[in-house]
Amino acid sequence: MDVADYVLQNFSKDEQSKLPDILNHTVDAIESFIFDGVITAMNKFNSR
C-alpha cells in the first residue's frame, strides 16, 4: 500500500470508537494552553 493511501484511509472501527476520548483529551489540552499557559499545558499533557 502506498504511504499516502495508508495515511489517508478511513479510520478502522476500533479507531473510530476511540475518537471521542481522544478528541475530548485534545480539547482539554487546548483549553489548558489557552487558559493556563504553555508550560502548564506541556507539564500536564506531555506525559510518557
8-19 per-position pLDDT tens digit:
999 999 999 999
Angle between helices 38-45 and 13-36 (to 10 degrees): 150
What is the pLDDT, as a whole number, of residue 38?
97
Question: Span 34-43, mean pLDDT?
Answer: 97
**Residue 7 to residue 11: CA distance in whole angstroms:** 10
Cell representation of residue 28: 482539554
Kindly indicate the confidence band of residue 1, based on its pLDDT and cuts at 50, 70 and 90.
Answer: confident
Q: What 3-state DSSP class applies to 11?
A: coil
Domain residue ranges in the chain: 10-45
Q: What percent helix, strand, coil does the chain show, rounded to 5?
A: 80, 0, 20
